[in-house]
Structure 1
Amino acid sequence: MPKKSFFELEFPIHSSPSLLYQYISTPSGLSEWFADNVNSRGELFTFIWDDSEEQAKLLSKKSGERVKFRWLDDEDDPYFFELRIVVDEITKDVSLMVGDFAEEDETEEAKMLWENQIGSLKHVIGSV
């Protein structure tokens, strides 16, 4: 099985951390930008796009700060993706840090996918 490597991206977002957290941690928030529809039952989140469906387990969350998911397909692997809100102590600027894993030859593609997704998020929040 090909080894995946971790990468992290930072996106400045003009939003309050509490509003941003709603968009990254709730099924209704995630369905506005991440997938066409999102359902959850406890720690199990189902992400629906057009005609495909993926399930992820919520590994951890810290209110107002971060969420961490693992795709069920990767359940036997240590891979996850994390959305973390960072507030600059001095400027109070808000950024969303995205941490994810991708196979070496797919890293650029994965980063572009996240850039598109976060572009949708910014559009929904009105942070364009």
Structure 2
Amino acid sequence: MSKQKFTLEYPVRCSPTILYEFLATSNGLGEWFAETVDERDGKFYFGWNGSVEEAEVLEKEEESFIRFRWVGAPKDEYFEFRIDKSEITNQTILVITDFAEKKDIKDQSQLWDYQVKDLFHRLGN
């Protein structure tokens, strides 16, 4: 069964420059995404509860987006953090794209909500 792509959007009260640091650096990601984060040779190593997951950076653009793929995941599956601006309100929007089985999208979305809440706390939102 193939996974489905889903997207979540979160309005953020901070500059794209600051937000990008939290999305694309090991120090920033270590503040909210995982217990430990190391970066070596274009790969990120995310640690939770003693286990480590490895992800490679597929693409990135400073202050715009970063796309990761878990090592071992299908080539067309990734997770991405994108920074958009609302044309109407000029507010910064964090757009997260991920993949999950259809039955797991709700749970995966709730996990992202929890993670982003931690990110917002770190950002002072």
Q: What TM-score does the superposition give when structure 1 sets the normalisation length?
A: 0.94
In structure 1, give the amino acid aligned to 2:91. D
- Do residues 84 (structure 1) and 55 (structure 2) align? no
Partner of 2:117: 119
Measured in 2, the distance between the counterparts of 1:122 and 1:3 equals 32
In structure 1, give the amino acid aligned to 2:57. L
- Do residues 54 (structure 1) and 53 (structure 2) align? yes
- Do residues 21 (structure 1) and 20 (structure 2) align? yes
Q: What TM-score does the superposition give when structure 2 sets the normalisation length?
A: 0.96
Structure 1 residue 9, shift from structure 2 partner: 0.4
Partner of 2:38: 39
The DSSP-based 3-state class of the residue aligned with 1:109 is helix
Structure 1 residue 67, shift from structure 2 partner: 0.3
Question: Which runs of 5 or more residues in structure 1 are unaligned?
Answer: none
Q: Percent identity?
A: 38
**Aligned-residue CA RMSD in angstroms?**
1.0
Aligned residues: 125
In structure 2, give the amino acid aligned to 1:73. G
Deviation string for 1:44-92 (max 9, x for gaps)?
A: 1000112111000000000000000000020x43100000001123422
Measured in 2, the distance between the counterparts of 1:104 and 1:94 equals 29
Partner of 1:103: 101
Question: Which runs of 5 or more residues in structure 2 are unaligned?
Answer: none
